[in-house]
Amino acid sequence: MPYCSSCGNAVNHADQYCAKCGARQPGAPSQPVDPLAGITPRTASILCYIPGVGWIASVIVLAAEKFRNDRTVRFHAFQGLYLFVAWLIVEWVLSPIFREIHEPIFRIDKLLHVLILFVWIFMIIKTSHEERYSLPIIGELAERSAAEH
């Protein structure tokens, strides 16, 4: 068991500071381990398009220091977020309206849900081939958002 280099108190191997005097221990890790260290830009971009939960990956990617200067990954994160917002608009705005119509001949909200799901899958495929595909309207917003740094 090691001892504190300052006061001689017994400390554990993993302790960064002495519990008694608060002195920093030699050999203790100085920097926290980056949880995104093993994630490649390609993987981070793909995760932003996972249907329903890709918004979580998008927020993490946008907040991560590792991808702060990677414009392509930031573009995919913003585009994934905006695609999720489109899905929410359909789910929270259009679907309740069409549920109130008693006998709708054509449920456009169901068609939009399928379309957005198809776009998510399409973007996963494009991103896995490392192709940067800009969706109409959403892609333009993502480009502008990624450019603002």
| Residue 90 Cα distances to 10, 48, 83, angstroms | 61, 19, 11
pLDDT single digits (tens) 39-74: 999 999 999 999 999 999 999 999 999 999 999 999
Q: How far apart are CA 73 and CA 127, in angstroms?
A: 10
Tokens standing for residue 28: 């203790």
What's the rounded mean pLDDT across residues 131-138? 95
pLDDT single digits (tens) 83-111: 999 999 999 999 898 888 877 677 888 99
Q: Please tell me the predicted confidence (pLDDT) of residue 6.
A: 87
Question: Quick one: CA dihedral 32, 33, 35, 36, positive or negative?
Answer: positive
Check if the beta carbon of residue 78 is closer than 8 Å to that of residue 142: yes
pTM of the model: 0.76
Tell me what the pLDDT averaged over the chain comes to. 90
Kindly state the percentage of the chain with pLDDT values over 90: 62
